[in-house]
Structure 1
Amino acid sequence: MTDCCPPNPPKPHGHYDAVSYTPYPRSVALARRHVAQLAVDWGHPATAGDAALLASELCTNALLHGCLRDRLFRVETSLTGDALRVAVTDPKGERLPEPRAITVSDQFGRGLLIVRAVADRWAVEQLTVGKRVWAELDIAGGLDA
């Protein structure tokens, strides 16, 4: 199996981590726990829960809408300046995600609404192959906290 695209280089004076996962439901839980642990290890335990939630929602969207058989998806986590970023890259770029209107009876479709509510910023980037969806949390004190 190969990954869908090259990693972003680590930004100077920060923390960076990238892990590629197989397109199976268990990978969502693995990524969620890993991102939460990174937030703690990097000195921001108060953001671990929100970072884990963002990772979970972005990974679930990648799994449901962006993965191809035998192609990995990547979770990149970085801490630079005053933001913790969780970015998920998958190989399908032809359909870009966007929040949609839902009704109370809808069982699915709330993931990006949750991302929008929790994150301070989020966006979608088209890549040569696939897409990257990222979300950021503002961090009080940034790297010096």
Structure 2
Amino acid sequence: MAVGALTDSMSYVPSKRNVSLARRRVARLLADWGSPELAGDAALLAGELAANALLHGGVPDRLFRVELRLEDKTLRIAVTDPRGELLPRQREAGDEEQHGRGLAIVAALATRWGVDPLVVGKTVWAELELC
């Protein structure tokens, strides 16, 4: 991998369609950046974080942003949304619940994840350590 970081940022209108577009963009970028082995997990992480931004952080007519940063040994996926008062927390979903497993998936795949509160909104991020 080249020295220095590869970065990308894209803002999206809050819609289900754009969660899918963000997921596909992440997978394509990682393949383009020469790390196709990361594409599947990274796309899943981006999709879960973007879906949470849509469901729990979305405000009509306010965008959410997906950022990627690939450095020597770390891939960071960060999703920023406009609702900082609703911080994510991992929970255990019941068998009949349709939602509530996203952060469990993030925690299982990511090396680490967290939340950065902002003046307006928040950024939820996940990192993958590269071998």
Same fold judged by TM-score > 0.5? yes
> Residue 117 of structure 1 is aligned with which of 87, 108, 129?
108
Question: What secondary structure, in the 3-state scheme, does the structure 1 residue paired with 2:69 have?
Answer: strand
> Residue 136 of structure 1 is aligned with which of 113, 127, 131?
127
> Residue 95 of structure 2 is aligned with which of 77, 100, 104?
104
**Matched AA of 2:113:** W
**Alpha-carbon distance in 1 for matches of 2:98, 2:67:** 28
**Alpha-carbon distance in 1 for matches of 2:63, 2:9:** 12
> Residue 71 of structure 2 is aligned with which of 80, 88, 94?
80
Question: What secondary structure, in the 3-state scheme, does the structure 2 residue paired with 1:46 have?
Answer: helix
C-alpha RMSD over aligned residues = 1.1
Percentage of identical aligned residues: 57
Question: What secondary structure, in the 3-state scheme, does the structure 2 residue paired with 1:84 have?
Answer: strand
Name stretches of at least 5 consecutive residues in structure 2 with no aligned partner. Answer: none
Give the structure-2-normalised TM-score.
Answer: 0.95
Residue 109 of structure 1, CA deviation: 0.2
**Alpha-carbon distance in 2 for matches of 1:20, 1:103:** 33
**Matched AA of 2:109:** V
Residue 125 of structure 1, CA deviation: 0.5
**Alpha-carbon distance in 1 for matches of 2:117, 2:72:** 24
Question: What secondary structure, in the 3-state scheme, does the structure 2 residue paired with 1:19 have?
Answer: strand
> Residue 46 of structure 2 is aligned with which of 52, 55, 63?
55
**Matched AA of 2:104:** L
Superposition map of 1:10-25 within 5 A: 13-25=4-16
**Matched AA of 1:131:** K
Give the structure-1-normalised TM-score.
Answer: 0.86
**Alpha-carbon distance in 1 for matches of 2:33, 2:130:** 11
Name stretches of at least 5 consecutive residues in structure 1 with no aligned partner. Answer: 1-11, 141-145
Question: What secondary structure, in the 3-state scheme, does the structure 1 residue paired with 2:127 have?
Answer: strand
Which residue pairs with 1:4 in the alignment? none
Runs of 4+ that moved beyond 2 A: none
